[in-house]
Structure 1
Amino acid sequence: MLIVLLSQKVLLFVILILIVCLIDNDHCYQDNNNPIHTCHYPTKFRAPQSPSYEYLYIPGDVLLGGFFPIHQPPSSELGSMQCTAIKRERGIQRLEAMLFALDIVNTRSSYLMSSILSHSKIRFGALIYDSCDYEPYAVERALNMLLPSLDQCLSLQKRKDSPVIAGVIGSASSIVSMAISDILRLAEIPQISYASTSTELSEKLRFQFFSRVVPPDTYQAEAVVSIIQFLNWTYVAVIKETGSYGERLTDDFKAKLKNKTICIAGELSVNIKDSNSYLRVIKELYEDEKYRFVIGVVVFAQEDSVRQLLNQTSSRNELNGRWVFLGTDGWGKKWYPVENFGRAAINAITIAPKLYPISDFDEYFKNLIPSKNTRNPWFVEYWEETYKCKLDHTPTTIFNQNYTRSCLDTDSTYTNFSVPYFQEGYVHYVVDAVFSLVIAIQKLVDEKCLNSSNITLLCNEFYPFDGIRLLSILRNLSFRNDLSRRNIKFTPNGDGIETYDIFQYQIIDSTETLDYFPIGEYSDSDHSNERIRIDLQKLKWFKYNSQYSTWSETQLTPRSFCSESCHPGEIRTNTDSQQCCWTCRACEIFHIAVNETYCIPCTKEELPNSNFTQCISIEEEYLSIENSIALPALILSLIGLLMTIYTIIIFIRFSQTPVIKASSRELSYFLLFGICCCHLCAWPLILKPHILTCFFIRISVSLSLTICLAALLTKTNRLARIFNNKQRLTPQSCLSPRSQLGICTGIVSVQFIGVLLWIFISPPSVKLKSEIKHNQRRLILVCQTDNENIAYSLIYNMLLVVSCTLYAIKTRHIPENYNEAKHIGFAMYSICIIWLAFIPIFFGLRSSDNWFRIQFVTLAICLSLSATIILICLFAPKLHIVLFNPSKNIPAKFKTTISTRRISFRQSSSANNHLDPLLARAINNSQRRSTPIDCTTEVTFCNSKLDSFSLNINDEMTQTDSIYSKNSIINDTYKHPEQQQQQQQQEQLLSSSKNDDETMDLLLTSQQKSNINYVQRASIQKSSSDLVLSNENPWKKVSHVRYNINEHDIKDNNSSTYNEINFLVESLNMTSVRQFKLKDLLRINNVNLDIFTENYGLSFYLHYLARWPDCFFVAENSAHRLMGYIMGKIEGKHDNYHGHVTALSVASEFRRIGVSSQLMALLEQVSEQKKTYFVDLFVRVSNKRAVDMYHKLNYIVYRRIIGYYSGERDEDAFDMRKALSRDIDKKSLISIPHPVRPEDLDDD
């Protein structure tokens, strides 16, 4: 770059030399009356038929150059190189501001100048040119300005008699300043602009000697964006002027819009040389459909283009008030753009560097008249153009030829004329620029002439002029202008620091007078919310009625947008590449809209509010005692409980009566306890769910009915064994009260063990169950129960019900004194009906809104009804006898009565026709023992066979125990020979296996070599022939469990396992890693089969392959089969500059051989080469294997992102990082302790 600049400088210098050589020496002469070297310059660029004034010259010891846009730029209608009409504000006022500042400097009439120049007698002059705001014209004049200096340089003389041009003030437009700066850089002459704001001028490698007292366009772009945000506009149009000013400002504006919710509907260009371009722009802005809702129009143009735009807008009446123009400093507070076209500019908002009006300049300028202002050769044109008149002594031009009125050249001020006056906004910048340059020159003189005897004038040491040193002094200046009351300071790049005023073009009174009204200001503050300050009381909006051509004030701020705002609960779906144009789409059910951009689901415990902007907690629903639906269960439970307590009291009170004694009192009390439990179950079922109530529900619901059914089953079983085993000689066992209670306890213990296992596996707890019905979400507070476990307990109870029912049917014909079995049968039939009706209600009634209430209320009622039926069927008859029919409560009513039958014994075979003497003796002894007064017994045998016999006992006894004693005697005394032999064999077998309780080892067979199976060896008494095989070890805590594998089992395995291991080893050894190619996209299907692998669209892979090809690698084995791939990128800025692993996937057959480590190491190496700080990746929390692998690769969990992976159920992700060598302090590994959401991620 330095070589290019040097070559450009040499080339331009050669061009300048050639220009000097072509100049006629007669153009330069030494005026005897004027000691200053004077030159006449070519007059090629003159306004047509206008006075031939080329420049303004004020003699002095040191000259300040100046460039001002005195005239309008050339027009295509008048010729490409001819300047046009005079500029009254940007030209004449700014020119007079420089002359005014020089007068202050030379007269030392301000405090600042008097203090700085108190010891100096140097007089500052000026050489000022008209730039016509046209680049070629300005370049020609800059060359003319430097000719004397070059002539002096070529003559190799120190021409102290010719004043040096120490600096240049100007120009106004940025493109002209750039052109002049390229010329002045060759002569090393500093330049200070009073109005050029292009950011390109801050590039000091090119514009080394350029400085300015105004801020660059960067601040303007920020100010425009801030105003748009303040007005809540999201969609604007941009009109830019071709050239450096408009185009660079547009680029800055678009750069500032990044990460903002503001879109540009379109960029429209206008050209100052093409008047038709303004008509095309306005027509397109009005007719194009994409600008239908556009109200805000940003104008990046100078005053001439702004005037043309307003002219075209005002030409159509219906366009007045159609748009709100937003202008920059090119428009500012200038009167020229809005003159005669102000109605089209109403509501326009403009910005301009903050005004620091100089009151002394107002007095100076208002007193200027043509006859006294002879030093300004263009003032006469200004006078005629301002007052639309013609002075007598001026020639006729195309600009004054139509003026018929004669101008008055008197000592008059603006107050004598109808033309309003206001100070142009950049006047104080011109004064600041002149003061800055004068102060810097004086400091340079003081520095150079420090040792000179005459320090009041220029000394010999001042020559040759040192522009580089002057530039250095200028950049370090800091002072306060006492005229403008403004602090002057430059940035290291030579830019000014400033605040912008914000104006609105308003109707200021009832006569519809239009003027710029200050409404706020913008400053470059460190806090973005403090940069712009707009007074809403001063901001006004006016609406135009085209029918009546009137304006009316409105309180509504105009909206500039692309699409209408979405309704509550809707989000935007972008219709094109711009984020400001969208269609509205309703969020899914139970989602809320966040800033109309995306929907997020509410948790299962929340519902969206009415505006769908916030999730609110759902009120919990649960079954409680306050619900009316619970009253039937409570009433039935209370009644049943009172009845049961009453029954217990009666049983205790009359416990010694025959009816109570004959009802098996122990079982009755056991049954009454179960009935009480059934009635008490209603309370935990109905109360608000709590961990204690849930615990009691688990225990009571399962066991209460089991207790009742166990007692009933034991009763019916006892009766069945007593009366239906007529062919048994042996006495019945387990018929005593203690045995009966033991049987009941055993039956209940099975259910109790199951409940304990249920509690151990799934401890009781309360859960909030979210339910969706009729597009409404409900939050139901219930106990944590599984329907499967409930079903298991109910199945067991149903088995007991069925068993009781079968026994009831079996004992339905027993003696009338034992017709309790009939009552039990009736109770079982009723319970079966109740539970058959309950099961579909409990498990199938989910469609009802109150299903959870109905479910548990029904369960409570079902238990209470079952208990009540048992109570009524079994105990009501007994209570009736005890309380209301005591005459039946006598022992005779409860004796066993069996009709006597005589049975003959007949020998069927001589060989088998005998009776064992031992049996006969036992029978006779039994008869003698059991012959009380009221008991007679006859025993007869018949149809006796060798292998079996029957014994019928015809008896009438007072106690059934006599029968039991006979059976016991027979069982104890008689054993058939074969039965005795079999019993002996069994005893020997049992005795031989007493110590065989150790567990055994099982050698796995060849059919089981693929799995390690655990077995538990049961003892001989516990079905030793049945061995249990399992693929898992359910007895991990059993010490006697172990396994063996024969060596031959491994040696024989010479097929799949061995080959598979060899395949993996060979794959590891022959792996090659290379960059991913386009054709690999057709071969990665085998790699993407894993459930944790994120599958992307083809365009996604192509995007990474095109943008980050050096971060996309694939592993391939020797058979050219893809083993895995890694896809990454380099992103971020500053300390967040890092490598990112977007996807890492390895085919399942190539895992655990280091492919992932190789790929990760390669991406880390690329990240190191890119000088990144760290490498990061995102991984599912549930992917434990991948998390462990990354931990082994020295990655740490930096933070957790909630719901990062979307799906049927959103899943969290870990953001894992690994610091690289550039991150010396490992700052990137300082983890964030709290989880974050995806929208909170850094926008890199």
Structure 2
Amino acid sequence: MKMPVLQTVLLVFPFLYRIQSASDEDCKLWRDLDSAVVHKEGHIVLAGMFPIHSKGLEQELNFTSRPDQRTCRGFNMRVFRWSQSMVFFIEEINRNPALLPNITLGYRLYDTCGLTTLSQRTALSVVSQPRKKSSSGVCSSPSIPIIIGDSGSTLSMANSRLLNLFRIPLVSYFASCACLSDKHQFPYFFRTIPSDVNQANALARLVKHFGWTWVGTVGADDAYGRTGIDMFTAEVTRLGVCVAYRVIIPKLPTQQQLQEIVRTIRDSTARVLVVFAIEEDIKPVVDEIVRQNVTGKQWVASEAWVTSTLISTTENYPSLSGTIGFAIRRAEIRGLKSFLESIQPLAKPYNPFAREFWETQFQCSLNTSLPFASTTEPVQYSRTCSGKEMIQDTQSIYNDVSELRVTYNVHKAVYTVAYALHYLLLCQRENVSAFTQPCPDILNLQPWQVVEVLRKVNYTNIFGDLIYFDKNGDPIGSYDIVNWQRGREEDPVQYVTVGRLDSSSPTAQQLVLNQDQIIWHGGSKKVPVSVCSASCPQGFRKVTREGQPVCCYDCVLCAEGSISNTTDQSECIPCPEDFWSNQHRNHCIPKQIEFLSYSEAFGMALAATAILGAVSAMTVAVIFFRHRYTPLVRANNSELSFLLLLSLTLCFMCALTFLGQPSRWACPLRRTAFGLTFALCLSCLLSKTLVVLMAFKATLPGNNTARWFRPPQQRLGVFLCSVLQGGVCAAWLTIAPPYPVRNTWLYRDRIILECHLGSVALFCCVLGYIGCLAAFCFILAFLARKLPDNFNEAKFITFSMLIFCAVWITFIPAYVSSPGKFTVAVEIFAILASSYGVLLCIFAPKCYIIIFMPERNSKKYLMSQR
């Protein structure tokens, strides 16, 4: 047991022992621990505990003498209204014939002064009340089976632990700490205010909703403040929000401590601060904030002070304007205002707090010898009160019923107890027990019997709210979201409801906000920004700064091929294989498809060159055909010449197949067409070379070799050479033909459409065969270049083969090293260059003579030796 509890129990133990050992006639209180009590008798008496004085002075306990009466100061009109409201609700129940008929409720109202020791002392005063004498003459059970209070979480924790010894239930109207939901520690505790678990989660969701990722936290040095901050920090961190600082307000802060707290708030880059504290604890900090003129901060308040008129004053508003927070539900309670304003300071039963309220409200002194509610020396005012003054003519927080929130919780607490007692009354009268034990005697209740029925209370009150306790003794988590607003500077602060939270609704519908109605700090309609680092836009990723919270980061542009399409992404998303990032790195766009097409300038130039070559070859063929009977054409084997021109035309046209998008038919066509046309061309050249050699040998005496190289043999030779290449191509197309592929590995940002060779070995065979034909033809032509002839065609074949071999030898390294579509361009260039070399070297001189020197196109000239 903690020391304050032990001290209090030791102080009251003699009184309890006296009661237990009292004789029949001594069934009375030996000495009341509290003199300032408002009471009224009834069949069942309810105790109410309220911190009517906000500050109490601790007493030094020496255990050698009885402690003095409590000493309190700081009369709190708001709390006094709560206590008077309890009286109003009890009298309202007594007038209700449908609720507790023939049973009168009484009350005993105590002032706890907001101190733990005094609150526990009050609890023991409740326990030590006079006991009723049973028919057997024995002092029976306590006359107060239940206590309504206390307001603070710390006070309720201490009282609940103490009352656990007597199994007396405690129903709090304002203790919201989540720790009180622990039924192992507080099995007899109930409350009508939602647990701070709901509020902490709701505040975290609110912060996340407005995009605040860098917030400060301020809490009181008690269970309410520390637990609230801990729960809020845990939840908000889970949502990705960082806490810039954590400030704890001492219960009795020094001026230096206040200055340090305000310095932390002022110097932090966090513009939003969340405060868990009651109004008495936060007020010194607010006063220092106002004194130092700290502005530019957006305050988020807990329910304990968000509707506090002690804080939301005109003087404080410039620093706290736009404050937003969760407030417990409010209600319009009919008749309460009239009841509150009908109070009389000297009426019976005497209310010692009413006298102090009267003198404080009217700033006067009542001429009476009746005691005050505390031993503090009364304030002497310059004028005297008559007690007939009209409260209706004054305005204070006492008779302001526009924001009945805690008062509504008191209403729910009183009525919940009344309904529990009503269930017990019905059980007794109808003799039908819904409980684990037989129906108890409502006029001789044991506290634990009330606990059992409290757990099963379930009713709908006159305001339409469903009232019940869950397994932890907590109600439904329901809040209003209020925003501090005012019109003109002299107008009071208005608590405008801008939303609502209901934890009983589905998760997506729990938080409802009317954001357009919110007025933020400084009168702005724009949501304030509170971040450690500005949001990373799309296309950037977050890089956390070393040694700093995750909310403090730098923005780095996503690498090529990756994107971020939302703000504040921690990692960039790689684009799919066929996509690439755009310039801003916020979208994946299809990769550019690249191939050598007719539409681009380079492709058009190559196509034009190929067509020009084909036209040139056909033009030469036309010239030769028109002069086919001339000696020059006939001397150069016109049949092979026409076949060679045809093959050259096909070679030029073959280059066109390499242009355009590769496809399943285009890829095999371009490779086989290349192999066959060049094989035909070189076969013709080889035959021409052999004809030249054989023609020279035929002029030698006795040589009959020329008869084996007549036109039929020439055609057969060209056919066999071409067919051999055709066989290789057929095997290529059968085994592993070329096919189109999407080359995504050469460039990361684009796709190259190209033809895969299929079988590389067969491609090498095709290319090697052409090379062999060209090399053999070159060797033969080189050997025949100096044969005695006026127009030796072998010289031109030698030059053409020299060009052909040079082109295709340089083609190999150029082909291997050229990237993408330039590989195809190199191949087309090699085809065109070698074809033009053959056409120009072999046919250009002949055409020149035929057209421009017809005198040399004669048998005499050709037969002459030079």
User: Shorter-normalised TM-score: what interval?
Assistant: 0.7 to 0.9
Distance 1:728 1:400 in 2: 159
Distance change in 2, residues 1:729/1:152 (3 Å): farther
Which residue number in structure 2 is paired with residue 116 of structure 1?
Answer: 99
CA distance in 2, matches of 1:77, 1:282: 29
Q: Which runs of 5+ in 2 are unaligned?
A: 433-438
Residue 190 (structure 1) aligned with residue 169 (structure 2): yes
1:607 and 1:777 in contact (8 A); partners too: yes
Q: Is the 8 A contact 2:19 2:29 kept in 1?
A: no
Scaled by the length of structure 2, the TM-score of the pair is 0.85
2:300 corresponds to: 326
* Alpha-carbon distance in structure 1 between the residues aligned to 2:185 and 2:59: 35
Alpha-carbon separation, structure 1, partners of 2:492 and 2:55: 31
Instruction: Say which SS state the counterpart of residue 504 (structure 1) adopts.
Output: strand
Q: Report the secondary structure of 1:519's partner residue.
A: strand
Equivalences, count: 841
Query: Do structure 1's residue 57 and structure 2's residue 35 form an aligned pair?
Result: no
- 1:135-214 aligned at under 5 Å gives the runs 135-148=116-129, 159=139, 164-214=143-193
> In the alignment, which of 402, 419, 427 is matched to residue 447 of structure 1?
427
- Would you say 1:336 and 2:310 are equivalent positions? yes
Residues 205, 560 of structure 1: alpha-carbon distance in 2 compared, 3 angstrom cutoff: same
CA distance in 2, matches of 1:514, 1:461: 51
Structure 2 vs 1, CA of residues 410 and 13 (structure 1 numbering), >3 Å: closer, same or farther? Answer: closer
- For the residues of structure 1 that align with 2:422 and 2:450, how far apart are their CA atoms? 10
Q: 2:114 aligns with which of 133, 151, 159?
A: 133
* 1:590 and 2:561 aligned: yes
Equivalent residue for 2:54, pick from 60, 72, 92: 72
Measure, in 1, the Cα distance between the counterparts of 2:18 and 2:464.
46
Secondary structure (helix, strand or coil) at the match of 1:623 reads coil
Write the distance in 1 (CA, Å) between the matches of 2:775 and 2:548. 72
Structure 2: distance between partners of 1:716 and 1:498: 104
Query: What's the TM-score once normalised by structure 1's chain length?
Result: 0.61
Structure 2 CA distance for aligned equivalents of residues 55 and 232 of structure 1: 50
Q: CA deviation at 1:694?
A: 2.6
- Please state how far the C-alpha of 1:237 moved relative to its aligned partner: 1.1
How far did residue 85 of structure 1 move?
2.8
Counterpart of 2:29 (choices 16, 24, 39) is: 39
Contact 1:20 1:150 (8 Å CA) reproduced? no
Aligned equivalent of 1:623: 596
| C-alpha separation in 1, matches of 2:300 and 2:105 | 41
In structure 1, runs of 5+ residues without a counterpart are 32-36, 44-51, 109-113, 453-458, 544-552, 900-1244
Alpha-carbon deviation of 1:404? 3.8
Shift of 1:294: 0.5
Aligned to 1:1016: none
For residue 435 of structure 1, what is the aligned residue in structure 2?
415
One-letter identity of the residue aligned with 1:168: I
Secondary structure at the aligned position of 1:116 is classed as: coil
- Following superposition, the deviation at residue 23 of structure 1 comes to 4.3
Letter in 2 for 1:502: I
The code of the aligned residue for 2:473 comes to: G
- Structure 1 residues 564 and 434: alpha-carbon distance in aligned structure 2, compared to 1, 3 A threshold: same
**CA distance in 2: counterparts of 1:91 and 1:152, whole angstroms:** 35
Corresponding residue for residue 574 of structure 2: 601
Change (3 A) 1:24 1:863: closer
Q: Is the Cα contact below 8 Å between 1:770 and 1:777 reproduced in 2?
A: no
Alignment partners' CA distance in 1, 2:430 and 2:8? 33
Larger displacement relative to structure 2 (828-837 or 431-440) = 828-837
Structure 2 counterpart of 1:572: 542
Aligned 8 A contact 2:323 2:521 in 1: no
The answer on whether the counterparts of 2:420 and 2:454 sit within 8 Å (CA) in structure 1 is: yes
Deviation digits for residues 1073-1117 of structure 1, max 9, x if unmatched?
A: xxxxxxxxxxxxxxxxxxxxxxxxxxxxxxxxxxxxxxxxxxxxx
| Shift in alpha-carbon separation, 1:14–1:66, aligned structure 2, 3 A | closer
Local SS of the residue matching 1:681: helix
Q: 1:386 to 1:768 in 2, by over 3 A?
A: farther
How much is the aligned-residue C-alpha RMSD, in angstroms? 4.3
Tell me how far apart the structure 2 counterparts of residues 26 and 467 of structure 1 sit (CA, whole Å).
Answer: 21
Counterpart-to-counterpart distance in 2, 1:472 and 1:812: 125
3-state SS of the aligned residue for 1:444?
Answer: helix
Letter in 2 for 1:711: C
| Counterparts in 2 of 1:642 and 1:25: CA distance versus 1, 3 Å | closer
1:311 partnered with 2:299:
no
1:107 aligns with 2:95: yes
Instruction: Within 5 Å, give how 1:188-587 maps onto structure 2.
Output: 188-276=167-255, 279-286=258-265, 291=268, 293-317=269-293, 319=294, 321-339=295-313, 341-372=316-347, 374-393=349-368, 401=379, 403-407=381-385, 409-417=387-395, 421-422=400-401, 423-450=403-430, 461-462=441-442, 465-482=445-462, 484-511=463-490, 513-524=492-503, 526-543=505-522, 553-566=523-536, 569-575=539-545, 576=547, 578-587=549-558
The alignment partner of 1:596 has SS state of coil
For 2:559 and 2:411, how far apart are their aligned partners in 1? 65
- Among residues 825, 828, 841, which one is paired with 1:860 in the alignment? 828
Map 1:1208-1223; keep pairs closer than 5 Å: none
The answer (yes or no) to whether the contact 1:278–1:308 under 8 Å persists in 2 is no
SS of 1:352 mapped into structure 2: strand
Percentage of matched positions with identical amino acids: 24
Give the alignment of 1:1015-1034 within 5 angstroms.
none
Moved more, 197-206 or 467-476: 467-476
Matched, 1:874 2:842: yes
Give the drift of 1:148: 4.1
Deviation at 1:299, TM superposition (A): 0.8
Structure 1 residues 827 and 589 mapped into 2: Cα distance closer, same or farther (>3 Å)? same
Q: 1:30 to 1:150 in 2, by over 3 A?
A: closer
Question: What is the rounded CA distance, in whole Å, between the counterparts of 1:778 and 1:301 in structure 2?
Answer: 61
TM superposition shift of 1:876: 5.0
Contact 2:24-2:138 at 8 Å conserved across structures: no
SS at match of 1:540: coil
Answer whether contact 2:359 2:366 (CA < 8 A) is retained: yes
Tell me the amino acid that sits aligned with residue 123 of structure 1. Answer: T
For 1:1187-1241, what per-residue CA distance to the aligned partner results, in whole angstroms no more than 9, with x for missing partners?
A: xxxxxxxxxxxxxxxxxxxxxxxxxxxxxxxxxxxxxxxxxxxxxxxxxxxxxxx
- The verdict on how the C-alpha distance between 1:878 and 1:196 changes in structure 2, with shifts beyond 3 A counting, is same
Encode CA deviations 1:361-381: one digit per residue, 9 max, x unaligned: 122213324244754321222
Match of residue 638 from structure 1? 611
CA shift at 1:129, angstroms? 1.9
Deviation at 1:260, TM superposition (A): 0.9
Amino acid at match of 1:261: G
**Could you list the per-position Cα deviations for residues 136-171 of structure 1 after superposition, in whole angstroms to 9, with x for gaps in the alignment?**
222222122112477979x995557x8722222112
Secondary structure in structure 1 of the residue aligned to 2:146 = strand
- Pairwise mapping of residues 699-848 of structure 1 onto structure 2 (< 5 A)? 699-717=672-690, 719-720=692-693, 723=696, 735=709, 737=711, 739-745=713-719, 747-748=721-722, 760-761=735-736, 763-769=738-744, 777-784=749-756, 797-816=770-789, 819-832=792-805, 834-835=807-808, 842-844=815-817, 846=819
Distance 2:488 2:498 in 1: 16
* CA gap 1:612/1:736 in 2 versus in 1, 3 angstroms: same
> How far apart are 1:810 and its partner, in Å?
0.8
In structure 2, the residue corresponding to 1:678 is in which secondary structure?
Answer: helix
Contact persistence 2:652–2:832 (CA under 8 A): yes
| C-alpha contact 2:562 2:585 (8 A) present in aligned 1 | yes
Partner of 1:166, secondary structure, is coil
8 Å CA contact 1:347–1:541 kept in 2: the answer is yes
**Contact 1:659-1:889 at 8 Å conserved across structures:** yes
Are the counterparts in 2 of residues 60 and 123 from structure 1 also a CA contact under 8 Å?
Answer: yes
Given that residues 334 and 425 in structure 1 are in contact (C-alpha distance below 8 angstroms), is that contact kept between their aligned partners in structure 2?
no
- Cα distance in 1 between the residues matched to 2:444 and 2:334: 39
| Partner-residue secondary structure (3-state), 1:362 | helix
| Worse overlay, 730-739 or 702-711 | 730-739
Instruction: Quickly say closer, same or farther: Cα 1:179–1:742, change in 2 above 3 A.
Output: farther
Q: Distance in 1 between matches of 2:729 and 2:79?
A: 100
Query: 1:659: Cα distance to partner?
Result: 5.6
**2:38, 2:108 within 8 Å by CA — same for their partners in 1?**
yes
> Is residue 675–residue 871 contact of structure 1 (8 Å, CA) maintained in 2?
yes
User: What is the DSSP-based 3-state SS (H/G/I as helix, E as strand, rest coil) of the residue aligned with 2:644?
Assistant: helix
C-alpha displacement of 1:434? 0.9
Is the contact between residue 249 and residue 300 of structure 1 (CA under 8 Å) also seen in structure 2? yes
